[in-house]
Amino acid sequence: MTSYPAPAQRLVESMSAAAAADPARTVAFQGAPGCNSHRAALEMLPDCLPLPCFSFEDALDAVKDGRAARAIIPIENSQHGRVADIHFLLPESGLSITGEHFMEIHACLMALGDGPFTSAYSHPQALGQSRFYLRERGIVPLSYADTAGAAAFVAELGDPAIAALAPKIAAELYGLKVIEENVEDAHDNTTRFVLLAQQPLDPAAITGEAITTFVFEVRNIPAALYKALGGFATNGVNMTKLESYQKGASFSATQFFADVIGAPGQPALDRALEELRFFAKDLRILGTYPLERARG
Ligand SMILES: O=C(O)C(=O)Cc1ccccc1
């Protein structure tokens, strides 16, 4: 799918051609060149060939059909929480998580004019991370598919009163002026990205600490979650993330998305997962991978 604004199109084409020549080195990301996911791909894997994809689904499809060995996807942000869709798309994709990467996110206000600005386009996460900044200045937040794409779109619109919030590099790539740097409301604003591949890592091959991500479902009856998670408490397994979301319209069951420290094959985690299987249904391990940042 090619819905990129014209100023981004040529870059997208040259990066896509380079990636097509070497899928094993290719890492798909959602967004236009210069977006945060592009930066995260290069920070985590400096030798990779980043492949821009317009939507998350396109990025996941690139891995599923072998055009990219891996995809990098933002999953959660310290300031603005869960990144929409991915908790639904990831289990559906059948891909495995093979790595994580934490990256500080800084946003720049950029535009063709010098201000004042009526509105600013960006990814909803970036808009949420700078909401107080925008509100104080009366700038209306407008959603775009990604930050760098928003910058390219603002360049294409040609209206000096419309700005974008994007990484600084996007201003250079798309010919916008940097109006102000670091406009995020919290300067330690950090996003966690995950790396996805067709094949899971072998937990036994991970040296150092590992983290395991899984999803499961419990019926909405009293104490169901308490019982399902009891084995993690009794076996001393540290759960570092637990999110819930409704599946379907009946509201009779809830799906949970969890991270725990450890790897299958370790007796404590095996016992906890066995107990979970007894009380929950549809337990699916999405991956075991090296812990990049210690929790706690
Ligand atoms: O739009 C981007 O730049 C992305 O890569 C998504 C995103 C947006 C804000 C913070 C982290 C990732």
177-197, pLDDT tens digit by residue?
999 999 999 988 899 999 999
What residues does ligand 1 touch, defined as CB less than 6 Å away?
31, 35-37, 74, 77, 105, 123, 125-126, 146-148, 191
Q: Give the angle 102-143-39 at the CA atoms, nearest 5°.
A: 30
Q: Tell me if residue 190 is catalytic.
A: no
- Phi first, then psi, for residue 273 (nearest 5°) are -70, -35
pLDDT at 296 over 90: no
The last residue of a domain, from among 171, 197, 223: 197
Beta bridge pairs of residue 192: 76, 102
Q: Is the pLDDT at 85 greater than 70, yes or no?
A: no
Cβ neighbours, 10 Å, residue 240 = 14
Give a yes or no: residue 295 inside a domain: no
Name beta bridge partners: 193: 74, 101
d(CA 231, CA 271): 7
**Ligand 1 atom showing the smallest separation from residue 74 Cα:** 12
Verify that 90 and 18 share a domain, yes or no. Answer: yes
Q: Report how far ligand 1's centroid is from the alpha carbon of 136 (Å).
A: 22
Q: Is the ipTM of this complex over 0.95?
A: yes
Q: Is 193 a catalytic residue?
A: yes
Tens digit of each residue's pLDDT (9 = 90 or more) over 22-78: 999 999 999 999 999 999 999 999 999 999 999 999 999 999 999 999 999 999 988
Q: Tell me the one-letter amino acid at 296.
A: G
Q: Which domain holds residue 216?
A: 203-290
> Residue 92: what pLDDT?
85
Residue 1: pLDDT over 60: no
Number of domains into which the chain is organized: 3
My answer on whether 22 and 81 are in the same domain is yes
Q: How far apart are CA 143 and CA 221, in angstroms?
A: 38
Query: Rounded to whole angstroms, how far apart are CA atoms 25 and 68?
Result: 7
The preferred substitution site among 104, 146, 192 for testing ligand 1, maximizing ligand atoms within 8 Å of CB, is: 146
What pLDDT digit, counting tens, does each position of 216-252 carry? 999 888 898 999 999 999 999 999 999 998 877 777 7
For residues 128 and 96, membership in a common domain is answered with: no
pLDDT digit string, tens, across residues 118-157: 999 999 999 999 999 999 999 999 999 999 999 999 999 9
CATH number, domain containing residue 38: 3.40.190.10
The CA distance from 95 to 64, in Å, is 8
Task: Say if residue 2's pLDDT is above 70.
Answer: no
Residue 88, pLDDT > 80, answer: no
